Every structure is written in structure tokens, then in C-alpha cells.
Structure 1
Amino acid sequence: MIARRRALLLGVGATLVTPDLLGGPAQAQGPLQMTLNGAWRQGGFAYGRTASRALIFVDGEALTTASINGLFVIGFDRDATGDVVIEARANGQSVRRTITVAPHAFPSTSINGLPPSTVDPTDPALLALIREQVALKTEGFASRVDSDDFKNGFVWPLETYRITSQWGSQRVLNGTPARPHYGVDMAAPTGTVIRAPADGKVSFSRSGMHFEGGMTLIDHGQGLITCYLHQSRLDVTAGQSVKRGDAIGRIGMTGRATGPHLCWRMKWRDRNMDPSLMVGARAPERLA
């Protein structure tokens, strides 16, 4: 059963902990090990290293598979809190660790002067277009590239910028409370080059999105996806592989925007994450 579940996951896409044997003698290579590091807070992440191709469970649910190098990543949503049990299973063995996701105080920001159609659209034709675009984005976010391109961490996608909105802030749009802002807004002149912050594969690239304008998604492995919104020009296409530093687009103010900027976002399997927490982070280089 474990082998079958591992195969299904592959098709889709810190401290030593005492192992719990699932049955049978320990393998010749010794007890299964797992090392973790990361930012264990709301919107944060955990990097892990364990056995090659180990099946990774989060709170008892099989969510991903370690790379051939034994690396994996797990994201924590903005509203995540409390204890999280991370478990690796391989070769008839199991190793687990419980970590605590710390709460974080998020600010509140107000934006006025947005066109009503970008805040509370009512036109039936526009609503139909939005539904179509949601389906397209959903397909892009469903990417599960079998890689560990996230392992060396991330750099900022702009060389020069000014942060105008922090990640996770509670938004008030035209005086109406809205969803939290799941991006880091980085202001820069129109036409400024946007660069890939890490290696990956483009899973979506499209201009003319109603809310996002020019939008690109990059899968950095195992469904860890970064998003780039409001671009004036797109320089990559879906299916294209990129390296850290490659130009992927240009700053703009397309979609729901009041000025030229990049809205930089990150998701892991539908969990919204703060991409700035990944800057400078690196996956464990070895087991404990």
C-alpha cells in the first residue's frame, strides 16, 4: 500500500528523530533519519531531508514525496497555528517530528480609488470571464514538478524596489474589508526586469487576467509555486525551464493595481506562503 501511494504522489508530481518501525527489521543502511529547518510561523515553511523518495505525511496525510536527493518542502498557510506532525516513511520505517507554527501579527492596509469592477464585479459577462480565468489559474497551481529546485533558497525577483505592502496584511479596498493580501508588493518603474528567484519550470503565463493582469507561475518543485502579478510584458511561456536570474517579465500596473509594481506570491498545495521568508534560506545539506 505504501509503495502504491508513493507511486501516485510521484505521478503527480532540525534534529534527528527516533524512528518508529512499521514492521520488519531495520534496513542495512540503519534507522531512517530526518532533518528539518525553516521558518516555523504563519506563512512560513519547513525544509526537510530524509531518505530518497520517502513518502512525507503532514498531520497524518500523505502530501508529498522526497526528491531523489531526499529533499522536501512543506508550506504553512497564513492562518496555520499550533502543532504540526511531519513524518517520513521509507523501507518499512517511519520517523516523525512535531513542530509548532508560531502566530504572527499582520498589519491592516487600505487602498482606495480602485475601479469597482476590480473590487466587487457584478456584470454577468465579466463574472463569466473571471470564472474562466480561475479555471486557468487552478490548472497552473496544480503543477507538481518532480524536482527540488527550491533547495538553494530564493533571492528577491527585483534588484531595486520599495516594499509598499507587506505579506498577509488585512486589506480594505474602497472602504470594504477584503481577503488578506497574499503577496509582497514591490514598487519599481514600469519596464523593470523581473528575474526568476530560483530555478524552476513555468506552469502558467498569461496576459490580460482581470485581477492579476500579466501573470506568471513558476513551480520550483513538489508544488512550491511562486506567482508574479501585474506585469506589463511576459518573457516566458508555460512549460519553459528557468534558472535563477533569468528574466521572466517586466514590471507593470495591469489588472487591479494603482501604480507600477510586482505582487510576488507563493503557494504550496493551496497554502498561501510569504515568499520573502524563503530569501536566503537553504534546505538541510546533510542528515543530523
Structure 2
Amino acid sequence: MRILVFLLMMMGTPVCSAAVELQGSFTQGGLVFGKTMPGAQVQHDGEKVPVSPDGDFVIGFSREASETSELRVRLPDGGQERRQLQIAKREYDIQRIDGLPERKVTPKKEDQTRIETDRAAVKRARARLDQRIDFLQGFEWPAKGRITGVYGSQRILNGKPKWPHYGVDIAGPVGKPVRAPADGIVTLAHPDMFYSGATLIMDHGHGLSSTFLHLHKILVREGQRVRKGQIVAEMGASGRVTGPHLDWRMNLRGKRVDPQLLVGPMKSE
């Protein structure tokens, strides 16, 4: 991780000695954790950012984020400050997967209602926004194994280009334990969604959530508080898959970010 400490300026003139500390990945799909003065208000690219009573906040960048991003801070004394952030561009892999059941690639009309119901449930689960700062404790891999899919890659299924992949895929046997990557609250525990099969979502505070797809079994319930490292599910092969694996995704207030940037290289089991 890179650590940048910005002394923000207002209209080119120094104001008091207010500082914002930013730590994270300044790249497409990255997350950056910030610290500012208690009582300050933060905006990122024109959108209001939740700030904890102690001044903690988190911002993120989408897969196709622009090369520059603007951070604005209104200090408790009314002073306004801003900073232009430089965002690195990434190159993404293209993956071809053949042999999937055609119904999973091109759903029938009777499947569409179920798909829309699934999407609405996921949207509700990710809409939670509170002051918990579980994300500040850091993240760890929810499972270990061979990485078979990465964030940002675009998949061509049965010869048809689909939406980019927004998670990291970890291969392993059915029943392998899946652990909470950080503390959180379970906001969705669905046994069987059309595309993602058994699906689990947990919220880490400020609108940052982890999603686990294609599970074999979910071991926690909605509303349950979970702790970092706690076994919450079992790896599986449910939904649209070609084999057992865990698809781990992260979302920040509508932005799809790369979980792999938070955990670094995977250590051997």
C-alpha cells in the first residue's frame, strides 16, 4: 500500500494546518482509507462521503475510473479544501469459458423475473450505510487456493461477450471453509440465486460490503454480527459455474472495487 499525506490548500493559500491522511491503492478498482479532522465533511467526485466521529472515511474507484479524481473537504471552521488525485489505469484480462448450459448464458423469459428479484435483493443488502468502521481493521483472504479469475477481466461465455468480472475467484473443493475477511454484519444470506447460487453479503461499515458467490452452504443468518476469521460458509459450485470455487466481490456505495488489492499476495496454506 502507498501512504500519502496531503496538506490541503484552499485557493492556493495555506489554511491552518489541517491534514488529510490517505492510505490505499490509487488505481482503477482501488480503495483508499482516509483520516481527517473530526467534524469535517468530505465529498469525492461530487458525492457525499460518510465520515466517522473521529474523522475516518473510505473512498473508491471503479473499473473504468478516470485518471483524475477530486477530493473536497469542508473543515469544522467552514474552510473548504480540495485535492486532485491521480488514478492509475489498469490492463484487464479477457477470459473465454465454453461448455456452460445455454440457459445460464442466455436465460429464458421465465427466468427473467427470478433474475430481477435476485438483483433487487442484492441491491437492498448493499444499501446499508452506517457509522461502523469495521473496515479499519484490515482484510484477509476468506479462503486460500488457486486464483482462477481476477477483477476487471471480461468473460466470453459460449462465444458471447458478457459483463466484466468484478471479483477474485479462488478454486477449491466443495465444503472448504469460507471465513469473514473482516468484521461485519450479514445483510443477505440467500440459498439459491439464478446466477450466483448460494449468496452471502456482509457489510463492513460506510457502505463497504463483501459478497461471496457460488457457495455450498451458508452458516450465518441475516442480521448476525460476524468477526474477522470466523467461518461463515462453505465453498461450492452453485449457480453459473464450471467447477467449485469462491467468487469474492466488494462494493463501496455503488462502486465495484477489487478485493485483491486489500489483501496482497496469498500465503501458502
TM above 0.5: yes
Q: Distance in 2 between matches of 1:209 and 1:174?
A: 21
Q: Is the aligned partner of 1:227 residue 2:211? A: yes
Aligned: 1:20 with 2:10: yes
What does 1:141-180 correspond to in 2, within 5 Å? 141-158=126-143, 160-180=144-164
Mapping of residues 129-208 of structure 1, within 5 Å: 129-158=114-143, 160-208=144-192
Give the structure 1 partner of residue 259 of structure 2.
Answer: 275
Q: Is the 8 A contact 2:7 2:17 kept in 1?
A: no
Match in the other structure for 2:98: 112
Indicate how the Cα distance of structure 1 residues 157 and 90 shifts in structure 2: closer, same or farther if over 3 A, else same.
same
Q: Which runs of 5+ in 2 are unaligned?
A: none
Amino acid at match of 1:17: L
Change (3 A) 1:251 1:273: same
CA pair 95-147 structure 1, distance change in 2 beyond 3 A: farther
- Tell me the CA shift for residue 31 of structure 1: 4.1
* Partners of 1:203 and 1:140 in 2: CA distance: 5
Equivalent residue of 2:115, what SS? helix
| 1:95 counterpart residue number | 81
Q: Map residues 30-69 of structure 1 onto 2, 5 A cutoff.
A: 31-62=17-48, 64-69=49-54
1:217 equivalent to 2:201? Answer yes
DSSP-derived class of the 1:236 partner: coil
CA deviations over 1:251-286 (Å, ceiling 9, x no partner) = 0000011111000001111111110101169xxxxx
Write out per-residue CA displacement over residues 37-64 of structure 1, whole angstroms, 9 at most, x where no aligned residue: 21111111111000224321012332x2
What is the CA–CA distance in structure 2 between the aligned matches of 1:253 and 1:18, rounded to whole Å? Answer: 49
TM-score, reference length from structure 2: 0.91
Equivalent of residue 256 in structure 1, options 240, 256, 263: 240
- List runs of 5+ in structure 1 lacking aligned partners: 1-13, 282-288
Distance 1:216 1:54 in 2: 34
- Give CA deviations for 1:11-34 in whole Å, capped at 9, x if unaligned: xxx22323439xxxx8xxx54321
Q: Decide whether the 8 Å contact of 1:19 with 1:31 is kept in 2.
A: no
**Separation (CA, whole Å) in 2 of partners of 1:95 and 1:236:** 43
- TM-score calculated relative to the size of structure 1: 0.85
Give 3-state SS (helix, strand or coil) of 1:233's partner.
strand
RMSD: 1.7
Deviation at 1:81, TM superposition (A): 2.0
